Amino acid sequence: MNVEQRNRRRFLKRGAGLAGLAVAAIRSANGQTTETSTKDLRPYGERSRFEKLARALVAPNGAASQTPLQDSMGIITPSSLHFVVTRYRNNPPDIDPAQHRLMIHGMVDRPLIYSVEEIKRLPSVSRIHFLECGGNSSPRLRRNAQTVQQTHGWTSCSEWTGVQLSLLLKEAGVQKGGDWLVAEGADAGKQTKSFPMSKAMDDALVVYGQNGEAIRPDQGYPLRLLLPGWEGVANIKWLRRIKVVDQPYLTKTEITAYTQPRPGLKGKALWFDFAMGVKSVITRPSGGQTLPGPGFYEITGLAWSGQGTIRRVEISTDGGRTWKDAQLQDPIHRIAHTRFRLPWHWNGEEAMLLSRSTDDIGNVQPTLADLAKTWGTTPGFFQTAFPEHFNPIQPWKVNSDRSVRDALFS
């Protein structure tokens, strides 16, 4: 018997003994006895009672809430902490997956109705993608915001599992001229959104899985449309219908919000501006925190781009005079949160922390002044406006009293 076999036998013996125990007494190194009760063997796990991390509830019933980015680790957002935006403030519909159907119709040769079980039988894919509300970090939403959860918490990142929408559309047979689609949710507000066929055929997914289990009701259980990198509102939850059409439909939910007249367009707005720009934010140290004192810190945060893969994140601790490359966590996924880290020694003096991300098609995260120029206006315009796709470099000011503050407009 070799060493490995012997160890395995010993393990099995011990395992067999433990299985019969309702309460195991564990003697720890310092001689204290800790009780582990059968409750710890509960079928669906819970975190330690000492952990308090939670979403920030923006709407009273939790129909809008933000991810606690300041304490997030790595790149995956636990499903329980994924941000929520459900318009019209309804609770998520309580859908029995056995009753739910997805209909694909309109300009197709074979209109189809799928049950959730039928969709799950099809070839599947799992992909890590972020989701971001088009209004995330917009000045009007962050008026009284102090923390990064409040300023940037309308983005999260999950591993999504489902089928490629292109597969369903090939089954249905898209007719000539069917260049757009309209997706509809089963919520009381009947969220609908138009999107072009090119995205449907490229990387769009109909997902039923999130981080290794069924997607949560808040995220669209049992089926959701995922248009990787595109503004949150296009990612229809509780997906029940996809209609192939010849042109965008200008549905109620897409014309009553998610646009902002731009001065540079003589007051007109950009419609169908789908992909989220390249963005990043330092999550620690960040707004509302108090640093314990001078010394070592790891500056860390998240970067993402709705158009590709993050290639580079630079960090400045002196308000943009000098920049250093941060280390990016491998593997880096396309259209996903990307964790960056940089060691920093804080000398106790005032500092201004910035992060600037670049993606693989060369988009560089703009400063507030750059962004204002693109919009044909001045930074002051943004203070009262409700710009969508607002992705400027976020400055956090570290004061000598050890407090950290949002310094975007100061």
Ligand X SMILES: Nc1nc2c(c(=O)[nH]1)N[C@H]1C(S)=C(S)[C@@H](COP(=O)(O)O)O[C@H]1N2
Among 161, 164, 191, 280, binds ligand X (CB under 6 A): 191
Candidates 77, 147, 235, 316; binder of ligand X (CB under 6 A) is: 235
Residue closer to Mo ion by CB (options 64, 353) is: 64
Could you tell me if 377 and 133 are in contact, meaning their C-beta atoms sit under 8 angstroms apart? no
In 10 A of CB 112, how many CB atoms?
17
Nearer to Mo ion, 237 or 356 (CB): 237
Give how many residues touch ligand X by CB under 6 A: 20
Query: In the chain, how many H helices and how many E strands?
Result: 8, 24
**Pick from 76, 169, 187, 317: which binds ligand X (CB under 6 A)?**
187
How many angstroms separate the most distant Cα atoms in the chain? Answer: 82
Task: Give the pair of three-digit tokens for residue 113.
Answer: 């109705």
Contacting range for Mo ion; rule: CB under 5 A; set: 80-88, 162-170, 206-214, 309-317: 80-88
- Pick from 133, 313, 336, 354: which binds Mo ion (CB under 5 A)? 133
Q: According to the binding rule CB under 5 A, does residue 351 interact with Mo ion?
A: no
Q: Which of 311, 389 has the CB closer to ligand X?
A: 389
Q: Minimum CB separation from ligand X for residue 272, in Å?
A: 15
* Binding map of ligand X across residues 213-232, x = CB under 6 A, - = no contact: -----xx------------x
Minimum distance, C-beta of residue 234 to Mo ion, in the bound complex (Å): 9
Choose the stretch contacting ligand X; rule: CB under 6 A; options: 4-12, 236-244, 268-276, 287-295.
236-244
Q: How far is the CB of 216 from ligand X (least distance, A)?
A: 8
For residues 108 and 133, which CB has a smaller minimum distance to Mo ion in the complex? 133
Question: Is residue 205 classed as helix, strand or coil in its secondary structure?
Answer: strand
Q: How far apart are CA 269 and CA 288, in angstroms?
A: 34
- DSSP class of 219: G
- Cis peptide bond prior to 123, omega within 30° of 0: no
Please report which helix (H) or strand (E) contains residue 170, including its range.
helix 165-172
Token digits of residue 78: 């636990």
Please, what is the minimum distance in Å from the beta carbon of residue 124 to Mo ion?
27
The least CB distance from residue 257 to Mo ion, in Å, is 8
> Do residues 56 and 70 lie in contact, with contact meaning Cβ atoms separated by under 8 Å?
no
137 binds ligand X (CB under 6 A): no
CB of 88 to ligand X, least distance (A): 7
User: Does 85 interact with Mo ion (rule: CB under 5 A)?
Assistant: yes
What minimum distance in Å lies between the beta carbon of 150 and ligand X?
Answer: 16
Among 129, 152, 199, 237, binds ligand X (CB under 6 A): 237
Of 87, 101, 312, 341, the one binding ligand X (CB under 6 A) is 87
Q: Is the peptide bond before 392 cis (omega within 30 degrees of 0)?
A: no
For residue 166, the one-letter residue type is S
Nearest to 236 by CA among 303, 190, 280: 190
What residue 187 binds from Mo ion, ligand X, none (CB within 5 to 8 A, per partner kind)?
Answer: ligand X
Please tell me whether the peptide bond between 366 and the residue prior to it is cis, using omega within 30 degrees of 0. Answer: no
Q: How many CA atoms lie within 13 A of 162 on its CB side?
A: 31
How far is 269 from 190, CA to CA, in rounded Å? 24
Under rule CB under 6 A, residue 131 binds ligand X: yes
Closer Cβ to ligand X, 137 or 289, answer by number:
137
Task: Please say which residue, 238 or 340, places its beta carbon nearer to Mo ion.
Answer: 238
What is the rounded distance in angstroms from the CA atom of residue 249 to the CA atom of residue 251? 5
Which is nearest to 176 in space by CA: 229, 233, 245? 245
Q: Residue 199: which of 185, 183, 184, 180 has the closest Cα?
A: 180
Check: CB of residue 298 under 8 Å from CB of residue 346. Answer: no
Note whether 82 binds ligand X by CB under 6 A.
yes
Asked if 160 contacts 211 with a C-beta cutoff of 8 angstroms, the reply is no
User: Could you say whether residue 157 binds ligand X (CB under 6 A)?
Assistant: no
The residue number with the shortest CB distance to Mo ion is 133
- The piece of 230-238, 290-298, 299-307, 385-393 that touches Mo ion (CB under 5 A) is 230-238
Cα distances (Å, whole numbers) of residue 156 to 21, 125, 152: 40, 20, 10
**Smaller CB separation from Mo ion, 233 or 336:** 233
- Footprint on this chain of Mo ion (rule: CB under 5 A): 85, 133, 232-233
**Which residues are at the interface with ligand X (CB under 6 A)?**
82-87, 131, 133, 185, 187, 189, 191, 218-219, 232-233, 235-238
